[in-house]
Amino acid sequence: MYKDNVVGVVIPAYNEEDHISDVVSTVPSFVDRVYVIDDHSTDDTWAEIQRAASHIKQQTISGNSEVYDSRIVTIQHETNRGVGGAIKTGYLKALEDDIDTVAVMGGDGQMDPALLKGIIDPVVEGYADYAKGNRFLRQETRRNVPPFRTFGNLLLSGLSKIASGYWAIGDSQNGYSAISKEALETVDIEEMYEFYGYCNDLLVKLNVANMVVADVPTPIRYEDETSSINYRTYVPRVSRLLFENFVWRLKEKYLIKDFNPIVLLYSLGMVGGITSVVYIINTLRSADVDNATAQTLTNFLISTLLIVQGMMKDKAENDHLAKRIEKRSGPLSLTGSTDPSGDDDFQGITSNQGK
């Protein structure tokens, strides 16, 4: 129990035999239930999960018995479903158990459990429906991110801003997060994307549901872990997912739920842009290339202006749903100030906006 909230942590794991035991063992004691999901690993991850769970059960015996018979729940997938699929399994179990706030910590040991309170505080104190880490809010944490990860992250974060409508939220691939029970009940978790890219998909669903999202400065530890992501296939796959989600968000939020001219600006801009490209291809073969080029450039500029105007209006429409959290001593306060000390000892929150 933490601040009158029943707290759960979902730990997805795939081939993490070297790290999963330490991750499970170091989950803070205020966490009421830990869901450890083995996504059909091919190494000894499941055996390590069982060993760690048995050790903790022996240590606690009947700890938290007024809420649960056991603190650790271990689940093994029969097939590999992807990290999003493992997290979905944990989310659904947490809903069954009526958990108030559900956090996600990776099974690879990159997410420091000492920072968990900073991740869940915006949710348990009612200032956000979903909070996530951001490695790029502070210079000292940005330096720890490998260059190839930085490039891919910035690219996908930029696309995620457009797709999700959370223009002030960055580091979209950061999985260290917390979500409220109300948010889990509102968004369609059953339909959440099951592979890498689940976090981008979830942001879009949260925006359509008008949920408040908070960014929390959070360093990530890179040690001897190896990423299973193939960026040559990952970036194109997630980019396609983001485009499809972008179209779905416009339809759901600005057409079905309540009509908003934003959808017209985006639609006319995209149609005009595509038409301009097709026109260029067809007219380059003709003799009147100069006139065709001038006309096409004019159409392209108009289309670009429509899209930019749509982005500006979209941002203004959703600004109140995004918060940026700063580390500062003292109670939660809604101010726009930042802490210049860079102290990583999280004791409270400041935010630039109210919920």
Mean pLDDT of 308-330: 86
Write the secondary structure of 168-215 as one string of H (helix), E (strand) and C (coil).
CCCCCCCCCEEEEHHHHHHCCHHHCCCCCCHHHHHHHHHHHCCCCEEE
Give the whole-angstrom CA distance, residue 176 versus residue 223. Answer: 17
pLDDT (0 to 100) of residue 146: 65
More confident residue, 150 or 132: 132
Distances (CA, A) of 55 to 27, 37, 49, 163: 13, 17, 10, 44
* Token code pair at residue 150: 């930085």
Instruction: State yes or no: pLDDT of 67 exceeds 80.
Output: no
Residue range 102-138, pLDDT digits in tens: 999 999 998 999 999 999 999 999 999 999 999 888 7
Which residue matches tokens 């009612």? 126
CA distance 259 to 253: 8
Nearest C-alpha neighbor of 318 from the set 215, 206, 156 = 206
Sign of CA dihedral 54, 55, 61, 66: negative
Close Cβ partners of 162 (under 8 Å, ≥ 6 residues apart): 242, 246, 311
pLDDT at 209: 96
Confidence label for 285 from pLDDT (cuts 50, 70 and 90): low
Nearest to 11 by CA among 1, 24, 2: 24
Residue closest to 47 by CA, chosen among 22, 8, 17 = 17
Of 106, 119, 90, give the one whose Cα is nearest residue 24.
Answer: 106
**What is the reported pLDDT for 66?**
36
Model confidence pLDDT, tens digit, residues 294-317:
777 888 899 999 999 999 999 999
pLDDT digits (tens, 9 = 90+) for 167-219: 999 988 899 999 999 999 999 899 999 988 899 999 999 999 999 999 999 87
Lowest pLDDT segment from 36-50, 119-133, 142-156, 207-221: 142-156
- 216 has which bridge partners? 133
Give the bridge partners for 38, in sequence order: 13, 76
Domain limits of the chain?
A: 7-245+321-351, 248-319
Least confident of 45-54, 64-73, 136-145, 315-324: 64-73
CATH for 7-245+321-351? 3.90.550.10
pLDDT: which is higher, 179 or 226 = 179
pLDDT at 288: 59
Phi, psi values for residue 29, rounded to 5°: -70, -20
What values do phi and psi take at 194, rounded to 5?
-100, -10
- Which pLDDT score is estimated for 148? 65
> What average pLDDT does this structure show over 17-38?
95
- Averaged confidence pLDDT in the chain: 83
Under 8 Å between Cβ of 9 and 31: yes
Are 179 and 212 within 8 A, CB to CB?
A: no
d(Cα 228, Cα 195) in Å, to the nearest integer?
A: 12
Q: Confidence class of residue 335 from pLDDT cuts 50, 70 and 90?
A: very low
More confident residue, 252 or 232: 252
What is the value of pTM for the model shown? 0.84
